[in-house]
Chain A
Amino acid sequence: DVKVTQSSRYLVKRTGEKVFLECVQDMDHENMFWYRQDPGLGLRLIYFSYDVKMKEKGDIPEGYSVSREKKERFSLILESASTNQTSMYLCASSLGGPGTEAFFGQGTRLTVV
């Protein structure tokens, strides 16, 4: 079974902290994604990566950065956490083709206080 693992289910951080959300997949997938899920807004793409060290901005990249040094790991970084970044964060991965299934992690509920 494909597994996408996010490092934390729940996280509480203070305003201004630098926050790292880690995601690891075990199926040698080229594509990895970070989404933010908010009620009524669905899933909004923050960043995605199509290869090691390659990344592309999604729809809401402001306040975030990413790192993909190894194929299996994709990290989302909140440079200076703010309360409006309180949300559910979902990581996903897929093979390179457009029709391929995306596999999701269990999500990280981040609260910034």
Chain B
Amino acid sequence: AQTVTQSQPEMSVQEAETVTLSCTYDTSESDYYLFWYKQPPSRQMILVIRQEAYKQQNATENRFSVNFQKAAKSFSLKISDSQLGDAAMYFCAYRSAVRGATNKLIFGTGTLLAVQP
């Protein structure tokens, strides 16, 4: 079974600085997707960024980028130029892309990010 681990329950960053959130996962599959989701204090979860395992290039969305290390099964999220609105719980998630596999979306335990003004 696949698992997702986020070892940092809480992180803090100064406004305008850069922060990296860690995520590791365990799987025997070769084809899958990885995601970072953000849950602001209002609770509605939204997608931040996604990465397909077959793509070597790291995904980037504006100030958000990932460092995807497939061999190490590591998928960290880097937030540059942190803003107060980035304060939220961040979840790493895994989804199999193997044909015939179920569409389960598996989440880690989350990292609570505080942004200091």
Measured CB to CB, the residues of A under 8 A from B are 31, 33, 35, 40-45, 48, 50, 56, 58, 88, 90, 92, 94, 96, 98-99, 101-102, 104-107
Contacts and interface: CB of A to CB of B under 8 A. Distances in A.
A45 B108 contact: no
Contacts, number: 62
Contacts of A43: 91, 107, 110
B52 A106 contact: no
Given A42-B110, A56-B102, A96-B103, A102 B47 contact: yes
Given A92-B45, A104-B44, A98 B91 contact: no
Given A98-B96, A99-B97, A106-B44, A40 B102 contact: no
A60 B43 CA distance: 22
Contacts of B101: 98
Interface of B: 6, 9, 32-33, 37, 42-47, 50, 52, 91, 95-97, 101-110
A94 B101 CA distance: 16
Nearest to B42: A106
Nearest to A104: B45
A78 B50 CA distance: 33
A42 to B, nearest CB: 4
